[in-house]
Amino acid sequence: MKINHFLTRRHALYLGLGSLAGLGSLTTNKLINSCYANQFIAHQHRSFYVQGNTPLKTRAAKKGIIYGADCGSLELQSQPELQAAVIQECAMLVPGFLKWNMLRPNPASFNFTRGDWYVNFAQKNKMLTRGHTLVWYDALPKWFKETVNKQNARQFLEEHIKKVAGHYAGKMHSWDVVNEAINVPDGLPNGWRKSPWLEFLGTDYIDLAFRITSEVDPQSLLFYNDFGLEYDKPEHEAKRTAVLKLLEKLKSQGTPIHGFGMQSHLDGHETRFNPQKLRNFFRDIASLGLKIMITELDVVDKKLPKDIDLRDRIVASVYEDYLSVALDEKAVIGVITWGLSDRYTWLAEFHRRDDQEPVRLLPLDTQMQRKLSWNAIARTFDNAPQR
Ligand code: G3I
């Protein structure tokens, strides 16, 4: 099937399915089955061939790209086979215990035990670490609401950043200093998200957070991180505009920001993928002099067919279609998958499949075996331009 450069294979596939829908005579079940049969046929001939067994971190490094993973905060410490897989595949680790609700049992104390284990594990195995995240509207401890207010918010913000970024100073390749500050549906000017930080400190809270972090850890690359920007959908377009406006504002006022984190939680069922619009967004960010990291890459397979071979092929296609576009932008310096093995992914809890089948979206299966998703990501590193 000839595909013009705006249509990916998946677009063409769904167009084919759309024509099926026009038949009308098929029952729903038959239509669904024949749709998936079509998907399988279309994907059956897509090659995910990879030369050799070289790990993802090595393939990425050859092009000047860092590959790493968030590894399910709880599990890494207790799972030797996950540790072995992480050491083999990853050049970077995202400790999952660096959020307020994980670090702050009460207003007066910090608990770095679990975060330190991660950072020490990474350093021992010659991996970089990336901090996630110093300022977020979510994952706040239970005591936050009744303790932090307009009068003391700045003191709490400063103390938190100085303590946490200070504790790990010199050990973090980069920090997600501020996470998810834009939410256009909230209806605030410039698409800002309603959050306690905005309520208590106004729109300067982001600049303040970056300046404090830069003081305590001048070696770390400081990122703004966000999601819901990947597709050719009105809400994603609106958010891309708002995020770019925020980044331009920060750069114009001299905020010490070095990069943008594109979370990239993709949807296997979404067909509104427009490579050129994605390229333009990455280009516009890079033109501000910012680096870019793909910071939380995964694919929701909730609405994909139960058939494992077909589902794996579709998920692998989503990874390859998206990452091949992203990595064409040389400002993209790193790719973090939000998990490494299907045994531990937030999607198993937060995006369960209706058929209760286990999710299958990460590079390794539950037995730490490489899947087509691994092949797809390996191929994008192999085909990426040299940084
Ligand atoms: O550590 C406790 C453990 O002691 C306790 O026994 C267990 C009981 O459920 O909970 C454990 O903490 C959980 C933590 O994940 C473990 O990693 C929290 O309850 C749970 O809320 C937390 O969910 C995380 C979520 O962020 C909220 O922080 C997900 O794993 C994590 O994947 C998700 O990641 C976010 C990014 O930070 C921002 N972008 C979106 C992304 C997906 O939501």
CA of 73 relative to ligand 1 center, distance in Å? 8
Q: Specify the pLDDT at position 97.
A: 82
Contact 208, 154 (CB under 8 A): yes
Mutation probe of ligand 1 site: the residue of 71, 74, 336 with most atoms within 8 A of C-beta? 74
What pLDDT does 138 receive? 98
Q: Are 166 and 212 in contact (CB under 8 A)?
A: no
Helix (H, G, I), strand (E, B) or coil at 40: helix
The ligand 1 atom at the shortest distance from the C-alpha of residue 114 is: 1
Mean pLDDT per 10-residue section of the chain, whose length is 387 residues: 40 42 44 53 81 98 98 81 97 93 97 95 98 98 98 98 98 98 98 98 98 98 98 98 98 98 97 97 98 98 95 97 98 98 91 93 97 98 98
Give the pLDDT score at 40. Answer: 57
**Token digits of residue 349:** 């809890």
Contacts of 56 (CB under 8 A, 6+ apart): 67, 89, 90, 363, 374, 377, 378, 381
Q: Quick check: is 296 catalytic?
A: yes
Cα 111 from Cα 99, distance rounded (Å)? 11
**What residue owns the CA closest to ligand 1's atom 15?**
73
Maximal CA-CA distance, the chain:
67
Statement: the pTM of the whole predicted model exceeds 0.85 = yes
Contacts of 377 (CB under 8 A, 6+ apart): 56, 67, 319, 320, 323, 335, 337, 363
**Rounded CA gap, 215 and 224, in Å?**
17
Pocket residues: Cβ below 6 A from ligand 1: 73-74, 96, 99, 139, 179, 227, 263, 296, 346
